[in-house]
Amino acid sequence: MGIIVQKFGGSSVATTEKLKKVCNHIIKEFEKKNDVAVIVSAQGKTTDRLITEEKEITVSPNKREHDVLVSTGEQITISKLAIMLSEMGYKAISLAGWQIPIITDGNFGNAKIKSIKAETILDLFDKGYIVIIAGFQGINENGEITTLGRGGSDTTAVAIAASLHADKCDIYTDVDGVFTTDPRIVEDVKKLDMISYDEMLELSSLGAKVLHNRCVEIGKKFDIPIVVKDTAKEESEGTIVENSKFLENMEISGIAKDDNISRVTVMGLENKIGKTYKVFNLLAEHKINVDTIVQSFGESINKNLSFTIKTADVPEAVELLESNLEYISAREIICFDNLSKVSIVGIGMTNRTGIAAKMFEALYEQNINMHLISTSEIKVTVLVNQDEADNAVKAIHNKFFK
Ligand code: ASP
């Protein structure tokens, strides 16, 4: 007997038929004499639909009211699920974020969870209830409804699991775990039995869209195992995200790809202290998110500075830098579009040599040029032409997993 938290994403709860499958997963854990808290998303594309309808009114809605609107989808799911479980003879109760409460900061649209009153849920467990909780929402200290950002129900689930000191948090979705890479690119992908929090964090931020990044951070902080499983499967081991218990890790755990990247180069930047700061401060003030940064060695009076940004941000970034050439003391701005980031991730590379060489060999064999390379302790990222990126992923996958 333990405490199990389960989370079901939008596609898993999309229809009444699918909700029945969800009930089976819940009942199975409950019948094992576990206390069960269930977090759900809005059904199917409900949140997208609400946002589209909102745009029919305005593209710049009042932030408070936006959260009131987009949080409604989850409320439909919790009530339907509780009704269904009751009809099946189980004691189930639904709770919106404010009823627990889940207290967040006041940042509408992207609020962070400050605290959760776990006793509300624990008291209901004591009374024999299965507790069904709306994901993605909370309230701020003024009692106003807030939301946690798109995909935020994962974060609600792991945060609830942490507050209840749950044994684990099962995240049910439409794929059966975390794979070595995107199955749409490589046919013979392998499902990972286990992946560490750090690897998962890297993979998510590098383009693998399995889990909300913030939920992995919470899992890591409170040591909550997160299991990613397929709702459609009756029985599945899925992939467990936890601290690595292996004595030796695989060379790499996964390969991620992120498209629509551009490389911007600031040419002839004066090689003086503070110039690089000026460039990035300008971009930060305009909320342009910068990724990989490479600065050439300035053996002369000038240096070149390259960085990557999302292609969608290019017009604003280039216009901003070009209109400030004098202020930043640079000669010109060059931009290279249609690039993809391809990354390998693995804690195994920390104590092995030759991992980067193996990746580069795979690219060399396919005659794929690398426009930029960056590394961290557990990842190597290269920038390649977008039309060669799938090939790059395939070649690297073959090298490491065949
Ligand atoms: N319903 C919200 C969204 O679509 C939250 C979630 O599903 O995690 O982003």
Please write the tens of the pLDDT for every residue from 268-326.
998 888 989 999 999 999 989 998 899 886 567 888 999 999 999 999 999 999 999 99
Residue with the larger pLDDT of the pair 52 and 204: 52
Which residues does ligand 1 sit against, CB inside 6 Å? 10, 41-42, 47, 73, 135-136, 150-153
- Name the pLDDT band for 249 (thresholds 50, 70, 90): confident
Predicted pLDDT at 298: 59
Going from the Cα of 38 to the center of ligand 1, the distance in angstroms, rounded, reads 15
| 254-to-201, 283, 372 alpha-carbon distances in Å | 12, 31, 20
Render pLDDT for 82-104 as a digit per residue (tens, 0 to 9).
Answer: 999 999 999 999 999 999 999 99
65: left (phi over 0), alpha (psi -120 to 50) or beta: alpha
**Distance separating the N- and C-terminal Cα atoms of the chain:** 41
Arithmetic mean of pLDDT, 111-135: 98
Asked if 39 contacts 153 with a C-beta cutoff of 8 angstroms, the reply is: yes
Question: For atom 5 of ligand 1, which residue has the closest CA?
Answer: 151
| Rounded distance from Cα 110 to ligand 1 centre (Å) | 12
Q: How far, in Å, is the centroid of ligand 1 from the Cα of 244?
A: 29
